[in-house]
Amino acid sequence: MTGTTRPTVHILGFGSMGTVLALDLLRYTNANVIPLFRSNEKVELFQKEANNVFGMKKLYLTDAPLITAQVEQSESPESFSGVHIDNIVITTKTYQTKDALKPYLPYIDSKTNMVLIQNGLGVLELLKEEIFLDEKTRPQLFQGVISHGVYQDVGFIYNHAGFAGMKCSRLPWDDTVIQTKSFMEKDLKDNELVRLFMSKPMCEEFGMEFMTYQEMLSGQLFKFLVNSCINPVTATVDAVNGEIGNSCEEIFSLIIEESLQILKVVYKPLFDYELNYNGKPDYPTLEIESVFNLDNLVKKIIHIGCVINKKNSSSMRQDTLYLRDIEIEYINGYVVRLAEKFKLGADAAKVNKTVSAFAKLRLGLNRTRKVEGDKR
């Protein structure tokens, strides 16, 4: 990207998703990327031991080359410079969002571009109801859905196990689901962060696509269903993605079938889109019915999760291995809450409720074994 003004992008949550995006922003744009760590101790570790360098092993390429990059500065709540935040990418765990954002709220306003790149659903409700209560000062909000498979190797080195791109759109603060192409194209022309994401070769090398909300939402719900299957199942049985490929069809089918019934109620405008908008001027043509077909979803989720990303260790499995809290309440647990919110009946989400319970059981078991030892 060329130009006299150098964009600054703060990244809150410098884990697998934050680093894979930061690496290509540094390689293919002129952005000043600033990681925001949770503490000064983490900043000092990154600065002194890693020399502000992080890296990505491209496992999907021959010989798995290690590609590294160096940032000019990194900060934490204690050391933050106090400048206005123009662009911020949120890649923290969903349940950490509120606490992680709190120290930086004085530097975020209606001129700030904020992109959410997180697993699961439900963060928008959190932002509206608990963080950005004043509508006049709410940031320009965007949603990113990354399908790249990435997990931590050691320190600030990560494994990029599968290349699958990223979808991004403006995220409406209200309940509007449908956007025109003209509305989307205005951001492509005028918004600094969108132009940065879509500059060449950044968009080509990262697989970045900018689109209307309904296009992104379709991709987001697909990714959500991928996460609803891959994350809790690999965490519960403690397996790398590819290990479950030959035996996961039944459990995936149960999760997807139940989740679809609930999502079709909650996101009715999207599931009615083909009938109401396909073929109309200024609206993109979407395939909803064929994509969100049970057999198609099971087949594609197994292919993406267990074939393309066969070497990947899901984020939830990594969390259970390292005894960290898991995001289950924003994935399968969110489906359970939606069923309750829309009064769909006591048994509407029994599969997702059970899957959530097993994921929590795995985390609890790992924590117990850490303290008391493995008694097998």
pLDDT, tens digit, for every residue of 17-57?
999 999 999 999 999 999 999 999 999 999 999 999 999 99
> Mean of the pLDDT values across residues 86-114?
96
> Mean of the pLDDT values across residues 239-246?
97
Label the pairing between strands 157-162 and 87-90.
unpaired
Task: Look at the chain and count its residues.
Answer: 376
Percent of the chain beyond pLDDT 70?
Answer: 99
| CA–centroid distance for 36 within its chain | 17
> Mean of the pLDDT values across residues 262-275?
97
Q: Is a pLDDT exceeding 70 seen at residue 152?
A: yes
Q: Is a pLDDT exceeding 80 seen at residue 3?
A: no
pLDDT, tens digit, for every residue of 154-175?
999 999 988 889 999 999 999 8
pLDDT for residue 120: 79
Token pair belonging to 293: 């077909």
Domain spanning 217-367 has what CATH number? 1.10.1040.10
| CA–centroid distance for 86 within its chain | 21
pLDDT, tens digit, for every residue of 287-321?
999 999 999 999 999 999 999 889 999 999 999 99
Q: Does the annotation count 223 as an active-site position?
A: yes
Token pair belonging to 39: 């503490």
pLDDT band at 85 (very low <50, low <70, confident <90, very high): very high
Asked if residues 194 and 115 have their Cβ atoms less than 8 Å apart, the reply is no
Q: Is a pLDDT exceeding 50 seen at residue 356?
A: yes
Fold match, 8-211 / 217-367 = no
Torsion of CA 72, 165, 115, 274, to 10 degrees: 170
> Mean of the pLDDT values across residues 95-105?
95
pLDDT for residue 4: 58
Asked if residues 179 and 213 have their Cβ atoms less than 8 Å apart, the reply is yes
Q: Is a pLDDT exceeding 50 seen at residue 203?
A: yes
Q: Is a pLDDT exceeding 50 seen at residue 2?
A: no
Q: Is a pLDDT exceeding 90 seen at residue 86?
A: yes
> Mean of the pLDDT values across residues 64-69?
97
> Mean of the pLDDT values across residues 222-243?
97
Q: Is a pLDDT exceeding 50 seen at residue 1?
A: no
* Terminal-residue alpha carbon distance, the chain: 56
pLDDT band at 211 (very low <50, low <70, confident <90, very high): very high
Which residue do the tokens 């149960």 mark? Answer: 254
Q: Is a pLDDT exceeding 70 seen at residue 196?
A: yes
Asked if residues 215 and 284 have their Cβ atoms less than 8 Å apart, the reply is yes
Cis peptide leading into residue 201 (ω within 30°): yes
Query: Which CATH homologous superfamily contains domain 8-211?
Result: NAD(P)-binding Rossmann-like Domain (3.40.50.720)
Average pLDDT, the chain: 95
- The residues spanned by each domain of the chain are 8-211, 217-367
Asked if residues 96 and 39 have their Cβ atoms less than 8 Å apart, the reply is no
Check 111, 189, 200, 223 and give the catalytic one.
223
How far is the C-alpha of 79 from the C-alpha of 82, rounded, in Å? 9
- pTM value > 0.85: yes
State how far the alpha carbon of 89 is from the alpha carbons of 9, 100, 137, 144, 185, in Å: 7, 12, 18, 9, 21
State how far the alpha carbon of 240 is from the alpha carbons of 261, 272, 285, 306, 311, in Å: 29, 37, 36, 9, 6
Say which residue, 94 or 84, is predicted with more confidence.
Answer: 84
pLDDT for residue 367: 98
pLDDT band at 231 (very low <50, low <70, confident <90, very high): very high
pLDDT for residue 5: 82
pLDDT for residue 119: 77
> Mean of the pLDDT values across residues 353-362?
98
pLDDT band at 94 (very low <50, low <70, confident <90, very high): confident
| CA–centroid distance for 167 within its chain | 10
